Chain A
Amino acid sequence: EVQLLESGGGLVQPGGSLRLSCAASGFTFSSYAMTWVRQAPGEGLEWVSLISGSDGSTHYADSVKGRFTISRDNSKNTLYLQMNSLRAEDTAVYYCAKVEMGLVTDAGFDYWGQGTLVTVSS
């Protein structure tokens, strides 16, 4: 059974840093791209970042580029999101998700964690 378990959320002051982790199990972690998606309170879904399984290439939403860094440790089956220079607008539930592979491109996000809440406030 695929399981994704996020941790590391909490309250942080504006300008501060936080690192989220996502522990994965039930599938060959290194073979799949992984992604972070966030959802501000009462709002819709926002894609944040993705890291490939094959070559570790990374991609970011413009809203977090230069401030957030996605990484993975395939030996620990763990995905990370390092968040620096946090702003009030980064307040959200952060979900990690496994990326389903399609024939040509990614097909969708087929398994999700339960989410971890990040609150940026003084």
Chain B
Amino acid sequence: DIQLTQSPSFLSASVGDRVAITCRASQGISSYLAWYQQKPGKAPKLLIYTASTLQSGVPSRFSGSGSGTEFTLTISSLQPEDFATYYCQHLNSYPYTFGQGTKLEIK
């Protein structure tokens, strides 16, 4: 099975900051990676698919990059509503595993 490792696991930042979250796959997954945002008590929300395609309705301050084994989710200018937990997920082959999550907190 393909394992995904996110870093960092916790991130403290301020409104207006630019932040990046990394997701590393245990083997190559081409561009078959998605990113999700989850707020407490809510279902996850798809932000980006195929590594860099922004889901409809997602603000352009979110962007994704990478291929193969290393991927990055970047938020260009943090807004108050962006403080949440972020997960990567691969869809290269079954099982479709998720990373362990990155909790983004307000500094």
Interface of A toward B, CB cutoff 8 Å: 35, 37, 44-47, 50, 59-62, 95, 97, 100, 102, 104-110, 112-115
Interface residues of B (CB under 8 A from A): 1, 32, 34, 36, 38, 43-46, 49-50, 53, 55, 87, 89, 91-92, 94-101
Main SS class of interface, A: strand
Point out which of B46, B96, B100 has the most chain A C-beta atoms below 10 A from its C-beta. B96
Nearest CB in chain B: distance from A106 CB, A:
5
Residues of A within 8 A of B32 (CB): 102, 104-105
Task: Determine which residue in A35, A37, A46 has the highest number of CB atoms from chain B within 10 A of its CB, and name it.
Answer: A37
- Taking a contact as CB atoms under 8 Å apart, the answer to whether A112 and B43 are in contact is yes
CB contact between A108 and one of B38, B46, B97, B101 (< 8 Å): that residue: B46
* Contact, CB under 8 Å: A110 / B46: yes
In addition to A45-B101, A109-B46, 18 A-B residue pairs with Cβ atoms within 8 Å of each other are: A44-B87, A44-B100, A47-B89, A47-B97, A50-B96, A59-B94, A60-B95, A61-B95, A62-B95, A95-B44, A102-B50, A102-B91, A105-B32, A107-B34, A110-B46, A112-B45, A113-B43, A114-B43
